[in-house]
Amino acid sequence: MRVTPETYPYVLRPFDHQRAALDDSWGLEQFAHFLDPGLGKTKITIDTCGILHANDKLHNVLIFAPNSVVGPWVEEIEKHWPAKQLGEPHVFRWKGLTTKTNQREYEEIVAPTDLAQFRFFLMNVESQSSQKGRACAEEFLKRVPGRKMIVVDESSLIKSPKAARSKAIVGLGKLAEYRRILTGTPVPNSPMDVFAPFCFLSGSGRMQAGQLGFRTYLAFRSYYAIERQRVLGPRSFKEIVGYQRLDDLNRRMDPYTLRLTKDECLDLPDKTYVKHEAVLTPDQAKLYADVSKNLLAEIDGGLIDTSVALTKLLRLQQIIAGHVTSGSPPDEEVHTLDSNRVSVLMEIIAGLANTEKVVIWSDWRLSLEEIASALRKEYGADSAATFHGGTSNADRDDIRARFQDPKDPLRFFVGNPATAGMGLTLHAASNMIFFTRSFRMEQRVQAEERIHRIGQHRPCTYFDIVTPGSVDEHILRALREKRKLSAKVLGDMLRGEWI
């Protein structure tokens, strides 16, 4: 008997928008779920796998996700897979092949066995930057029997056509009968970001987005980007100065995508944005002025390329955050500067109820440790935990669980948005503080959604600590412009003020 979204034995009934997504996409070979963070893309994907498996059309799935999101995937599979009706799945979480246990578990997941047991192979997307990771993913797809699906969660992580992991995952696409990409921010920086993910969806195994009508990235870029020739010293190159035909791009993507926003689907609490100023100390102001003056002189003289300019912009951000580097690797040293920023953060927290949990973001690990130290001194040793690239997987899972537990004394989640800004549910908090921020619109949007998602019943407040007249204000303006551009590509209606 054929199983459909209507007759599937859900563990938890889907919301109306999730059911509509299943109706539209479950049997298609390629599909992109461009749903806002918090709308349940993971559940939709697990239910899709279940429906296909119940019809004997799918037996294995390889899921690529950011490292911080792999643990939540395991939890969601346990929550949503109907084991009573479909049997217990074999779930394998890639941790490298560094131990005998890892090796044994890997051999078990790739071993040819009965098709009745569904297999979930979960890999962090970063693994595809290494030859070993690529080889193991390919071995799984080639060795296991039955039909296969590949899922790329937060598919903007493969947006660069030249990146090793993008090429690897696009190449694997031809080995699976079904392909899915999931993200709430498909256009994080520019319309060019959709090309490589759609190459993966096509299943050709090459950097060709045939379903969009383009066989090369150059052709795609030439059609949608407005370019001009620029000369920088002895070098001459084309730079993008704008975009065109974006309505046409939206039309071409439409048959393969579902775009849903939270405003359309959920009745979530309001968001409020508040700025708090952090004035530079005399030492910071002098350093900032020196670096800024030097940068402007080099730009005016045409003596600087993009990579050097970005490095100096990062240095300006670093000075604002309260530290500065000297020397060059491996002899580089970091010096702490006298700064008002942590004091401003502590003032914000002092104004909140003393039982409120708070998420705090900074792009600098030294700042994370400085913030956590100040919080522990004021509110107790167990009150704050840092979450960054150096945090082990076991500690990440523990921090998430403790923060979400209303009885646990862990009150402050102090994280790097590049590491913790995707996929995590942190709605035990309704207040979020951006100690610093980057130019990445995707990172900002994703970070905000950690607290504003299904299950949140309180209004959410976002505090930005900003130094007047500094690169902070340039970043906020750039983020607003990127959001407008993304909305134009996706056909979104912008509502209300943002940052």
Query: For 415-465, what is each residue's pLDDT tens digit?
Result: 999 999 988 999 999 999 999 999 999 999 999 999 999 899 999 999 999
pLDDT bracket for residue 396 (50, 70, 90)? very high
pTM to 2 decimals?
0.83
Whether 200 shows a pLDDT value over 80: the answer reads yes
Give the lowest-confidence range in 51-55, 109-113, 366-370: 109-113
| Average pLDDT along the chain | 91
74-93 pLDDT, tens digit each: 999 999 999 999 999 999 99
pLDDT of residue 354: 86
Give the lowest-confidence range in 132-136, 240-244, 294-298, 465-469: 294-298
Whether 189 shows a pLDDT value over 70: the answer reads yes
315-367 pLDDT, tens digit each: 899 999 998 887 666 667 888 899 999 999 999 999 998 889 999 999 999 99
Evaluate whether 247 touches 236 at the Cβ level (below 8 Å): no
Q: What percent of the chain has pLDDT over 70?
A: 95
pLDDT of residue 412: 98
- If you average pLDDT over residues 102-127, what whole number do you get? 93
Give the lowest-confidence range in 25-34, 284-293, 398-407: 284-293
Q: What percent of the chain has pLDDT over 90?
A: 75
Query: For residues 37 and 202, which has the higher predicted lDDT (pLDDT)?
Result: 202
- If you average pLDDT over residues 467-482, what whole number do you get? 92
pLDDT of residue 308: 65
pLDDT of residue 76: 95
Cα–Cα nearest to 80, from 35, 25, 29, 118:
118
Burial of 168 (0-12, 13-18, 19+ CB in 10 A): buried
Evaluate whether 130 touches 98 at the Cβ level (below 8 Å): no
